Chain A
Amino acid sequence: MLRRQFLLSAAVVASAFAAYPAAAQETVKIGLILPMTGQQASTGKQIDAAVKLYQAQHGTTVAGKKVEVILKDDGAVPDNTKRIAQELIVNDKVNFIAGFGVTPAALAAAPLATQAKVPEVVMAAGTSIITERSPYIVRTSFTLPQSSVIIADWALKNNIKKVVTLVSDYAPGADAEKSFAERIKAGGGEIVAAIRVPLANPDFAPFLQRAADAKPDALFVFVPSGQGGTFMKQFVERGLDKAGIKVIGPGDVTDDDLLPNMGDAVVGTVTAHMYSASHPSQMNKDYVAAFEKANNFRPNFMSVGGYDGMHLIYEALKKTNGDTDGDKLINAMKGMKWESPRGPISIDPETRDIVQNIYIRKVEKVNGQLYNQEFATFDAVKDPGKADKK
């Protein structure tokens, strides 16, 4: 008897839950999952600031619905990401999950996005494979092959043929190393040594010595942005700059967030990336000014990923007239084009990955401050990681 009553009440409760989503939602919820603590915290801080700035500038109402952002900290630990994403989808009934500071975090949430048909907007993580893991993933950041291939092209053009690659030993590092090496070899260049550095490595000395012994024209470097400064300091300490070895790489080494404190060691470093705080467009000048006013620090490439991610969500909602059906939203996002602080960008309708300009920049001192000054542009670069597979 008791058991039957229990089952009955359980059924009632269950049906009440099932009925809940059918009741019209007046608010659209975005579950923003970011590393706000731990080693990747600067990524979280940048994106969070950009999302707040976007909402301050564009309001919190879209297509008649209120947009609410729920910020959660996963500390860049994929297990946390998965649990938080699940809680957000099941308990908070979010209509989007967004953020994702590192590749493993974005991948951990992918099956949930597929299962719940909730769009996953990747605002930071940069490994090529991410968007292939779920038809509901859209990316507004960048992929590492995008900049690695471009810097290889640039190096070949500038007669840099002998290169040592030095990357952190994790998925994005491997991605950067592979796409760079393939491109440079195809162009007649040579990789004289491929060095992988453990991710939690305190001292670059032995790896830099190896690089120096190989006597290359240039050193291709990818380390997580937090380690860029330490790396550059040790590079100069070892006298590699005086030995005529150039540092090239994707833009993480000279992250705008850390660049002002790196010291003159980094001047002259040439990198390829999709955003620099000194990008010379009016839109970017306004963006940097508003961002610095609100936060007291400089926006970096992570911040534009977050800013454009919000734009993508807002515009998709406008297109669907506030309808939050996952498939409709994803369809609305495919092929969308807009002007971002980093320049013109669009979402590739086939891969749901970002298509954007990649700029070649050199670190220079402007009014006493270090900036990545752009001096060449490669237009509308698609993710080469996926083009390879076709």
Chain B
Amino acid sequence: MLTILFDGIAYGMLLFVVACGLAVTLGLMNFVNLAHGAFAMAGGYITVILVNWLGLPFLASLPLAFLFTAAIGLVLERTLYVHVYTRTPLEQVLFTIGLVFMSVAAVDYVMGSQQQFVSIPSYLQGQINLFGVGIGRYRLLIIAVCGLLTIALQFSLSKTRFGSRLRAAVDDARVARGLGINVNAVFAVTFAVGTGLAGLGGALGAEILGLDPIFPLKFMIYFLIVVTVGGTSSITGPFIASLVLGIGDVAGKYYVPQFGAFIIYIIMIVVLIWRPQGLFSRAVAK
């Protein structure tokens, strides 16, 4: 019973790590970035290359996956994304879904279509027994990383100067520019961080979710559910949403397996009927 709760929390945390980057780009920047999963996949494949091919330790490859993916995100932001910021959501959707298909084909071509397995170190494998509850070591790592991330993100958005600049740039780019904020730079950095988080999520998630070229399509629905249920104006929203969905999904599959796959959608529908803006969200004033 407690093991199920633990697994649910870990799964929810994993969803959060993968989806919080989207909460940053979609939620804070108001940009419909369906290519989020492609960056997560990039992080996963970077980890495979670093760990399996170059023999780097797994834990060291996690920050590198973040940095490399952030770099890719930065380049794409400056060259491609910057042209679609002001376009309609539909155009953004078409543009980013196109990127997804291109990434799927490119990864298929370069890395092959088979499943990739990251070789994680032996101290992260297996379970430890705490008071009779079986706890997976790898899942414990996910929870730790996720906890740190949440605190860091929430702090930097609400308490730092950069956070206020970002919020200003999002709310009214023209006025922000007038106040001397370099809006382009703020957006570029934010986007890079968002994609970097996706990369980190992909790197951590590959072990549990599996990794193959259709990863971005397979898990797009999960990222979107987390962000929709959580609301887009804060980091706490998606965090709570991830936990609720993760625990609900795992417990549902354990106790009522015949409906297992649908639990996550039922939770989504109930939450959205109750709070159409998501769990934690201010009403959009537009």
Q: Which residues of A contact B (CB under 8 A)?
A: 37-39, 41-42, 45, 195-196, 198, 200-203, 205-207, 209-210, 226-227, 229-230, 233-234, 236-239, 257-258, 261-263
Residue pair B250, A226 in contact (C-beta under 8 Å): no
CA distance A173 to B10 in the complex (A): 28
Q: Which residue of B lies closest to A231 (CB)?
A: B210
By Cβ-Cβ distance, the 7 closest A-B pairs, closest first, are: A41-B113, A198-B261, A206-B253, A206-B254, A205-B7, A230-B210, A239-B127
B257→A226 contact, CB < 8 A: no
Q: Are A263 and B117 in contact (CB under 8 A)?
A: yes
Q: What are the residues of chain A within 8 A of B207 when measuring CB–CB?
A: 233
A262 touches B117 (CB 8 A): yes
B1-32 at interface with A (beta carbon < 8 Å): 3-4, 7, 10-11
Among B126, B209, B214, B254, point to the contact of A209 (Cβ < 8 A).
B254
- Among A38, A42, A206, A261, contact of B4 (Cβ-Cβ < 8 Å): A206
CA distance A263 to B218 in the complex (A): 24
Contact B4 A209 (CB under 8 A): yes
Q: Which residues of B contact A210 (CB under 8 A)?
A: 254, 257
Q: Does B219 contact A (CB under 8 A)?
A: yes
B11-A42 in contact (CB<8A):
no
- Give the interface size bracket for B toward A: 35 or more
- The answer to whether B219 touches A202, judged by C-beta atoms less than 8 angstroms apart, is yes
Whether the pair B125, A236 counts as a contact (CB closer than 8 A) is yes
Within 8 A of A (CB), among B106-165: 108, 113-117, 119, 125-127, 134, 136, 138
For the complex, is B77 an interface residue (Cβ under 8 Å from A)? no
B119 touches A263 (CB 8 A): yes
Known pairs A196-B257, A257-B114; A203 contacts B250 (CB<8 A): yes
Residues in A with CB closer than 8 Å to B114 are 42, 226, 257-258, 261
Residues on B with beta carbons closer than 8 Å to the beta carbon of A262: 117
In the complex, which of the residues A38, A205, A238 contacts B11, with contact meaning CB atoms closer than 8 Å? Answer: A205
CA distance A236 to B3 in the complex (A): 16
By beta carbon, the residue of chain B nearest A207 is B253
A257 partner residues in chain B, CB cutoff 8 A: 114
* Residues of A contacting B10 in the complex (Cβ-Cβ under 8 angstroms): 205
Q: Which residues of B contact A202 (CB under 8 A)?
A: 208-210, 218-219, 222
Distance in angstroms between the alpha carbons of A236 and B138 in the assembled complex: 12
In the complex, the answer to whether B257 meets A207 with C-beta atoms within 8 Å is: yes
Q: Which one, A201, A239, A263, contacts B134 given CB within 8 A?
A: A239
- State the Cβ distance, B244 to closest chain A Cβ, in Å: 16
Given A203-B250, A233-B207: A226 and B117 within 8 A (CB)?
no
Give the distance in Å from the alpha carbon of A195 to the alpha carbon of B214 in the complex: 26
B260 interface residue per 8 A CB criterion: yes
- The answer for the CA separation of A200 and B113 in the assembled complex, in Å, is 17
Complex Cα spacing A202 to B7, Å: 13
Chain B contacts for A39, CB-based, 8 A: 212, 214
B residues less than 8 Å from A200 (CB atoms): 218, 261
Question: Which residues of A have CB within 8 Å of B218?
Answer: 200, 202
Residues of A contacting B209 with CB < 8 Å?
202-203, 230
Find chain A residues with CB under 8 A from B214 CB. Answer: 38-39
| A203 to B251 alpha-carbon distance, docked (Å) | 12
Contact of B126 among A201, A203, A206, A237 (CB under 8 A): A237
